[in-house]
A = this chain, B = another copy of it.
Amino acid sequence: METRQGIATKEALDLQSVDQDLVQKMVYDALVWSSLHGLVVGDRSVQRSGKVPGVGLVHAPFALLPVSFPESHFREACELAPIFNELVDRVSLDGKFLQESLSRTKKVDPFTSRLLDIHSKMLELNKKEDIRLGLHRSDYMLDEQTKSLLQIEVNTISSSFSGLSCLVSELHRSLLIHYGERLGLDSKKVPGNSAVIQFAEAMAKAWTEYNNARALVLVVVQSEEHNIGGQVIAVVYFRAGYAPTDYPSESEWRARLLMEQSSAVKCPSISYHLAGTKKIQQELAKPNVLERFLDNKEDIAKVRKCFAGLWSLDDSENVSKAIENPELYVMKPQREGGGNNIYGEDVKETLLRLKKDGTDEDAAYILMQRIFPSVSLTFLMRDGICHKDHAISELGIYGAYLRIKEKVIMNEQSGYLMRTKVASSNEGGVAAGFAVLDSLYLT
């Protein structure tokens, strides 16, 4: 999730005008609703929380009211979901493209290098994935100045918050059913969200297609031990495995390789995983690359329209521009999860240092146009406390894809995730403590 301070725009609701008593009532109701409906997470300040389920719970951080979002842009993002599902699938089949595009990244990023090694082994074995399951989330921001929907990234592994995002949409609908009249808001303008059900259905369908009634679904998670000796696995879902810390020793890499070699449906396969890297995102934005993977001209135009400016660091023209105007760029390393991006003056300094060093380290980064979303006043709820601040939002659209050889079983948009964060903070996700879960109010 990335951000920056922008310009406040006209909202469906003027929060400044909302009566303080009404806010207090909504805060109270929203917190009670959270407890009753499972909109809860582990509270890190409580011992044993996260280690034992059911203890040390606190409401998930959320925005008290949904953020205004133009309906046309929401539809645009939804329509892109099946196209990106297809694009990821097509890219995943082009092993040469993946290996070549990531060849320089491989030299400087040991983690990507390990993933590419597994991918190479599969290419050598000529391993085919007949059943391919993708549970993706494509993230967007609405650029304030150009009024265009621009993609931040595609997540092809461990696309998170499909469960909690549905609950926040329900919470907002419930609050607007009760208080909408007094706020001048209509609960029906919060779009329905069934991400978690659609993802579960896709997984169930993949299991069904595997066609072994005794086979299991294996969920790979962080810090857990699972003994599955002798069992047949139909589907492997990677809730973990996207970060170097998920592989503390060689045994995790051996397990990943073993799973990739197996006949189980991997969500994601190593190819899907690699297709979701930032380097591939940047490569796809180059002229005539989308055309290699998509046939439909309209689809290509739609996808290209949502691409922000994306450049490799060997693009000297844009590197120079970024050194001149670093505030208009973000530098992104090939890393999942928040907290790794480089903003502002640091962009300039890093680019100048890399230029001077003249090593391959520049291949670890891509350069991206910085997006300036609109800023709106928001009530952010965390630890039972309501905090009013200027905030910006990022929309994620979930997509579910299931294919057996030439037959597409499922290719759909599957709900959404809205995350909102204080505008003055540069970046950070919900789990990292910077953002809150949100939903949208169509305008």
Cα-based distance from A217 to B238 in the complex (angstroms): 49
Q: Is A38 an interface residue (CB 8 A)?
A: yes
Q: Are A35 and B57 in contact (CB under 8 A)?
A: yes
Residues 185-214 of A, flagged 1 when their CB comes within 8 A of B and 0 if not, give: 000000000000000000000000000000
A67–chain B nearest beta-carbon distance, Å: 21
- Which residues of the other chain, B, contact A57 by a CB distance below 8 angstroms? 35, 40, 57-59
Q: Is A337 an interface residue (CB 8 A)?
A: no
Q: Which residues of A in the span 36-85 have a Cβ within 8 Å of any Cβ on B? A: 36-38, 40, 43, 46, 48, 52-59
Select one of B28, B43, B46 contacting A53, CB under 8 A. Answer: B28
A178–chain B nearest beta-carbon distance, Å: 14
Number of copies: 2
Q: Is A1 an interface residue (CB 8 A)?
A: no
- Which residues of the other chain, B, contact A32 by a CB distance below 8 angstroms? 53-54
Q: Is A110 an interface residue (CB 8 A)?
A: no
- Which residues of the other chain, B, contact A34 by a CB distance below 8 angstroms? 53-54
A386–chain B nearest beta-carbon distance, Å: 10
Cα-based distance from A385 to B31 in the complex (angstroms): 26
Residues 132-173 of A, flagged 1 when their CB comes within 8 A of B and 0 if not, give: 000000000000000000000000000000000000000000
In the assembled complex, 19 residue pairs joining A and B whose CB atoms fall closer than 8 Å, in A order, are A31-B53, A31-B54, A31-B55, A32-B53, A34-B54, A35-B38, A35-B57, A36-B38, A37-B38, A40-B40, A52-B384, A52-B385, A53-B384, A54-B58, A55-B383, A55-B384, A56-B58, A57-B58, A57-B59
